Amino acid sequence: MRQRAADLAQRLRRSSAVHVVTHIDADGITAGAIASETLRRLGKQYTIECVKQLDETVITKLLNENHELVWFTDLGSGISTQYPEMNKVITDHHECPPDSNLSFHFNPHLFGHDGSYELSGAGATYLVAKQVDGHNTDLSSLAIVGAIGDLQDRRFCALHGLNTEIVKDGRDAGVLHTIQDLRYFGKETRPLAKLLQYASDPLIPGISGREDACVAFLQELQIRLKDGDTWRTWVTLDKDEKRTIISNIVQMLLVKGFGYQTATRVLGESYLLSREQPGTELHDAKEFATLLNSTARYGQYEVGLQVCLGDRGKWLKEALSLLKGHRHNLVEGLQFAREEKIQKRAHLQYFHAGDGIRDTIIGIVTNMMLNAEETDKDLPLLGFAHTENGEVKVSARATQALVDRGLDLGVALTKAAKELHGAGGGHNIAAGATIPKGKEEEFLDLLESNIKTQLAL
């Protein structure tokens, strides 16, 4: 694997101009930023673009532009065996065709590692950047933001596999430190009651989703909600206050019969960026990733890219403004999905958002819906949304328990979409597809048949 990374590093060094093509999520933006900065440090000419997917339109455009070298980051594995006329390098982590172990292709799946939790797209790009120049270890913090944005810590409540090597690089380079802490999102910036209100994985029985119950819970524990006029956040609490909240949440889970395994998920490894200011959206990798998701998913990838590359002025201000809108859209999207109601079939469940939720955030909303208290966790959940060009975007999410039973959404969605002349891909636990409008029922039939076969094996 290291040899392949070294070979790709050599290929990049030999090129005078490189065009980077990356994905629109946090993993894609951090991967693109790592690639850009690596090329800048090499003194290479480079350009970069963010795309939703590698469809025919994007590929035709790339072929017509006739770049000396195209570097695909956090995507590209699906086309690795096609378009031999395009000189390319691929650093990706999505499931790939069995015959794609080619000299220009770097993907953990090719070397016996699982790309859904052992290495992200940003991680794969970072391992090549490190081979380009050993001093690029300071870019490891971006790779960790990408991995966290890709939920690679979900399975073990900590990063695992090849990701741990990158964490070590980050610590050694002084750009990252890790602590055992509460796993819920928003520890740096969310007021305490809001932190608990939106808590999921695990949900807090009787607390999650209920702001008044969160306030009452904290008051009962004699935790001050404010310091003067300022709302307190998790990072402003002292050790005893944190310990009190954690032990009470764990106790509630155990009393309500959730079991030891669920209760232990309250705690996990947190990844903090040492050079960023505590109490900001950039200090905790989870919050940094959400900030990035609020940029490229709205067509503003340049903003997220510049923040990754160190801008703390104009571009950060723009990113924080986009984040506000993104949060609003997610709350509205969740509300819309709830109103549409989840439809159940024998082996899956789904909701159709139509034009009600942007196709670029349907995956995030689907994940939030799956984590909601009222959603059945024994079936994978699909969200449908219309795209700008008249197609339908499908996002699918599942629990680790289903994956452990043999479910592989990446394979199932790819197969079903292909039969309808669409495209699909992703991981066993989270995947996506694009299909023609009006083919949803047909797609569900095909997908359900695939899922049934996987779970029966």
Taking only the tens place, the pLDDT of each residue in 370-395 is 988 889 999 999 999 999 889 999 99
**What are φ and ψ of residue 134, in 5° steps?**
-60, -20
**Residue 431 region, left (φ>0) first, then alpha (ψ -120 to 50), else beta?**
beta
Using 50, 70 and 90 to split pLDDT, how confident is the model at 18? very high
**Three-state helix/strand/coil letters over the chain:** CHHHHHHHHHHHHHCCEEEEEEECCHHHHHHHHHHHHHHHHHCCEEEEEEECCCCHHHHHHHHHHCCCCEEEECCCHHHCCCCCCCCEEEECCCCCCCCCCCCCEECHHHHCCCCCCCCCHHHHHHHHHHHHCHHHHHHHHHHHHHHHHCCCCCCCCCCCCHHHHHHHHHHHCCCEEEEEEECCCCCCCCEHHHHHHCCCCCCCCCCCCCHHHHHHHHHHCCCCCEECCEECEHHHCCHHHHHHHHHHHHHHHHHCCCHHHHHHHHEEEEEEECCCCCCCCCCEHHHHHHHHHHHHCCCCHHHHHHHHCCCCCHHHHHHHHHHHHHHHHHHHHHHHHHHHCCEECCCCEEEECCCCCCCCCHHHHHHHHHCCCCCCCCCCEEEEEECCCCEEEEEEECCHHHHHCCCCHHHHHHHHHHHCCCEEEECCCEEEEEEECCCHHHHHHHHHHHHHHHHHC
Using 50, 70 and 90 to split pLDDT, how confident is the model at 425? confident
Q: Using a CB cutoff of 8 Å and minimum separation of 24, what contacts does 102-107 make?
A: 103/4, 103/7, 104/8, 104/11, 104/80, 105/4, 105/76, 105/77, 105/80, 106/1, 106/4, 106/5, 106/8, 107/77
Give the strand pairing for 423-426 and 430-436.
antiparallel
| Among the ranges given (21-35, 191-205, 230-244), the one the predictor scored with the smallest mean pLDDT | 191-205
Distance CA 284, CA 44 (A): 32
Residue 438 has pLDDT above 90, yes or no: yes
- Cis link prior to 202 (omega < 30° from 0)? yes
* Percent of the chain at pLDDT exceeding 70: 100
Residues in the chain: 457
Using 50, 70 and 90 to split pLDDT, how confident is the model at 200? confident
* Under 8 Å between Cβ of 225 and 218: yes
* Under 8 Å between Cβ of 295 and 286: no
Q: Which letter, b or e, does each residue of 256-268 get, where b requires 16 or more Cβ atoms within 10 Å of its Cβ?
A: eebeeebbebbbb
Kindly state the average pLDDT of the residues 88-117: 94
- Provide the pLDDT for residue 456: 85
- Provide the pLDDT for residue 97: 86
Kindly state the average pLDDT of the residues 429-443: 94
Using 50, 70 and 90 to split pLDDT, how confident is the model at 452? very high
Residue 295 has pLDDT above 70, yes or no: yes
Average pLDDT, the chain: 95
Residue 457 has pLDDT above 80, yes or no: no
**What are φ and ψ of residue 73, in 5° steps?**
-120, 135
Kindly state the average pLDDT of the residues 76-105: 94
Kindly state the average pLDDT of the residues 49-64: 93
Distance CA 315, CA 35 (A): 19
* Under 8 Å between Cβ of 410 and 425: yes
Is the overall model pTM greater than 0.95, yes or no? no
**What are φ and ψ of residue 421, in 5° steps?**
60, 30
Of 273, 5, 297, the C-alpha closest to 132 is 5
Q: Which residues pair with 433 in a beta bridge?
A: 394, 424
Distance CA 324, CA 158 (A): 28
Question: For helices 121-132 and 26-42, what crossing angle results, to 10°?
Answer: 10
Residue 189 has pLDDT above 90, yes or no: yes
Q: Give the chain's domains with CATH numbers.
A: 2-150+161-170 (3.90.1640.30), 182-321 (no CATH), 341-456 (3.10.310.40)
Using 50, 70 and 90 to split pLDDT, how confident is the model at 55? confident
Amino acid at 13: R
Using 50, 70 and 90 to split pLDDT, how confident is the model at 400? confident
* Under 8 Å between Cβ of 26 and 72: no
Distance CA 381, CA 49 (A): 31
* Percent of the chain at pLDDT exceeding 90: 89
Amino acid at 146: G
* Under 8 Å between Cβ of 20 and 73: yes
Residue 323 has pLDDT above 70, yes or no: yes
